[in-house]
Amino acid sequence: TMPSIFSYQSAEVDWCEGNFERSTVIAEYYNTVNGTTLFSFLLLTPLNFLVLEGAALLTQVSFAFLAGVFSMYFHMTLSYVGQLLDELSILWTLAVAYSFWYPRVYFPRCIKSRKHFFWLSGVTTVISTLMSFIKPAFNAYALNCIAFHLLYLTWRELKKCNDKRVHRMAAVMVMWWVLAISSWISDRWLCGLWQAINFPYFHSFWHVLIAMSLLYCCPLVIYFDVNYEMPSFKPKLGYWPSDSWPVVVPYIALEEPHKQC
């Protein structure tokens, strides 16, 4: 009999962590708990987005919030519906980010305005969503590959910028991303090894590490967006509460007059 798509462990993917070892309700305890990391960073990222349009802020945070909820639900149940909700919420969060903050200078030649780019992003996302139902287990690999395009865009922007603080922040972002993707791949491909030494928790590390990478990615996106969309201001990177603290929250401050980076 075909298992219910809402049933526990009906998903195509089962991560390395043992199931129901610490709870009779939560399938992957540490993956579920560390999925809440996204909520913690959601409380901080709006500080960066306040310099942008309110609609963009509300939409982006709403989708990211849903991604955190669905990630927790998926790892708690390992259900087929949970898997799709987890992956598709990430896809739509990325689509919203691209729609609002993809630099106009990189638009395809056939796209003449941000409104047209919204439509292109929307149609592409709907098609990708429908294709995701064909082989859901492949979705996670495809979503991770989008990071390479983001890294390429960051490299393009850094070539135009001489601000050492921006380059340093980009380097920190990449460092956290490399650690995150290494943890994700290790959990996926070397599960037998980690289970043999009783340490199958690298996917839970991925949740924390990718959140750290996003914490540095958001100010970078805003920095470049301000340069393009708010030319009368000069964006400046800062760290709260202080540059000297070992744990900080990066943010963007706006100064006048604008000086070319």
Residues 6+ apart with CB under 8 A from 67: 38, 86, 89, 90, 93
Q: Is 17 annotated as a binding residue?
A: yes
Three-class SS of residue 83? helix
User: What sign does the CA torsion over 92, 207, 134, 153 have?
Assistant: positive
d(CA 244, CA 221): 23
Both tokens of 210, joined, read 């990718």
User: Is residue 58 within 8 Å of residue 42, measured between CB atoms?
Assistant: no
Q: Which of helix, strand or coil describes residue 10?
A: coil
Q: Is 28 annotated as a binding residue?
A: yes
Distance CA 166, CA 173 (A): 11
Token match 């990222």: residue? Answer: 45
CA-CA distance, 156 to 137, in Å (whole number)? 32
| Residue 19 marked ligand-binding | yes
Structure tokens at 87: 């992956």
Letter for the amino acid at 256?
E
Q: Which residues are annotated as a binding site?
A: 14-15, 17, 19, 28, 75, 203, 207
Known binding-site residue numbers for Zn(2+): 75, 203, 207
- What residues are designated binding site for Ca(2+)? 14-15, 17, 19, 28
